[in-house]
Amino acid sequence: ALGLAVYRRPRRALLAGGLALALMAGSGLAARATWNPTSVLEPKFSGLLSSAPNVVGNARSIVSDFDAYQQELASLVTNVTKLYEAASSLPAYSPDPTTLRVLHVSDIHLNPAAWEIVRSMVDQYGIDVIVDTGDLMDHGTKAENGFTESIGTLGAPYVWVRGNHDSEETQKAVARQKNAHVVDDGKVVTVEGLRIAGIGDPQFTPDRSVVPAGDPAERRAGRELAASIRAEKALGRPVDIAVAHNPVAAAETAGTVPLALAGHTHRRDTSVLEGGTRLFVQGSTGGGGLRAVEDEVPQEVQASVLYLDRDSHQLQAWDDITLGGLGLSTAEVSRHLPPEGLEDGKSGAEPSGAPGADGAPGPSGASPEPSGGAGTGRQEEG
């Protein structure tokens, strides 16, 4: 098991106008930055960009200084990935130049900082395909459509599925971007040799109302996606990855594909479904979006890099990347190897419920496996 954490204190005050940099030693609200040059296997650099919500201030002050915030986060990602790749005691896997690298992001929720983070990951990891499992927007209005224009600057093909905060207008705006591939109604796209099928979320809840984890509409959508995937296989065109926003819908593809990707819960999780399908549920790559400033505890910014064999499209390993939420500069990246035999459909575990949206029971037939067979490093936020 290996988890690598990096923390750093910015050299200059991050938010020049409305945000004061506060470091309160011994208060538990902030940590004094420390550096241990002898710690090679798990280097740590600790510090916070801000100490508490009352220091952050209101949403208006955060937005006014967001350019500086974006650059700090992107720089942090760059340093983390370089340091991680230089570490000498990674689990026994080393991607080669032919390895397919898929970046899984989700639930950006209109956070402009996410684009800098994604671009940095694309550059550092040599990403071949980005898969976004929805909730790009907050309300799905036409006024938000300009946010999609950054998709064309990401430097990699962008596969997207509609979330419950995205509207049909959002979907059209994404589809207009030159590198975007929208998957819906079981449609299959081929990107970098990967065949990816998806279905948009059947529900639209821009008012932030809760979507029940067991909602019949989600299960119906998932069954529709699974039927499309089975039809493709019958025609000799097997699908490699199923994509849906809600994990309940994605879980319905169990046994039809090697990998299923979802989001929605803002909590990262991975499990092996009946039939050997591995379900990845991504956290929020937007840290819950700009609305996260309302929360007492910032939501983490999460994304994952999946390493696939270019010929067989078999999952070889994955890296989970976690950044501190709004106002924090903590970072963590950990590598996981799938237990031997899982990719052959031998889960060796009894089905059980995994956590779903808003704490509700998760998809049936899922064997929770948060460690992914290699352990997960933990984040310390001072």
Nearest 5°: phi and psi at 43? -65, 140
Residue 40 CA to its chain's centroid (Å): 27
Element (H, E) at 319: strand 315-323
Q: Which residues contact 276 (CB under 8 A, 6 or more apart)?
A: 255, 258, 342, 343, 344, 345, 346, 347
- Residue 114's SS3 state is helix
| Per-residue pLDDT tens digits for 104-142 | 999 999 998 899 889 989 988 899 999 999 999 999 999
Lowest-pLDDT range of 202-206, 280-284, 374-378: 374-378
Dist CA 293 CA 111 (whole Å): 11
pLDDT at residue 24, as a whole number:
29
Asked whether residue 278 carries a pLDDT value surpassing 60, the answer given is yes
82 or 253, higher pLDDT: 253
- Interaxial angle between packed helices 113-125 and 66-86, expressed in degrees from 0 to 180 and rounded to the nearest 10: 20
Asked whether residue 65 carries a pLDDT value surpassing 70, the answer given is no
Could you tell me the two tokens for 183?
Answer: 């998957």
- Residue 121's SS3 state is helix
Task: Tell me the one-letter amino acid at 276.
Answer: G
Dist CA 274 CA 196 (whole Å): 20
Over residues 226-235, mean pLDDT? 99
Dist CA 373 CA 285 (whole Å): 23
Dist CA 382 CA 25 (whole Å): 10
Over residues 5-15, mean pLDDT? 41
pLDDT at residue 47, as a whole number:
32
Could you tell me the two tokens for 226?
Answer: 């699974």
8 A C-beta contact, residue 283 and residue 254: no
Domains assigned to the chain: 97-368 (3.60.21.10)
pLDDT at residue 257, as a whole number:
99
Classify strands 269-273 and 366-368 as parallel, antiparallel or unpaired: antiparallel
| Per-residue pLDDT tens digits for 22-32 | 322 333 333 33
8 A C-beta contact, residue 323 and residue 76: yes
Residue 332 CA to its chain's centroid (Å): 13
pLDDT at residue 79, as a whole number:
65
pLDDT category at 381 given cuts 50, 70, 90 is very low
Could you tell me the two tokens for 290?
Answer: 């700009």
pLDDT at residue 323, as a whole number:
85
Its pTM surpasses 0.85: no
Phi-psi region of 372 (alpha: psi -120 to 50; beta: other; left: phi over 0): left
202 or 57, higher pLDDT: 202
| Per-residue pLDDT tens digits for 152-205 | 999 999 999 999 999 999 999 999 999 999 999 999 999 999 999 999 999 998
pLDDT at residue 198, as a whole number:
99
In terms of Cα–Cα distance, which of 133, 258, 282 is closest to 201? 133
Over residues 296-313, mean pLDDT? 89
pLDDT category at 284 given cuts 50, 70, 90 is very high
Asked whether residue 355 carries a pLDDT value surpassing 90, the answer given is no
pLDDT at residue 11, as a whole number:
39
| Per-residue pLDDT tens digits for 307-337 | 999 999 999 999 998 887 666 667 788 888 9
Please give the torsion angle defined by the CA atoms of residues 127, 131, 132 and 133, in that order, rounded to the nearest 10 degrees: -150
Dist CA 200 CA 51 (whole Å): 39
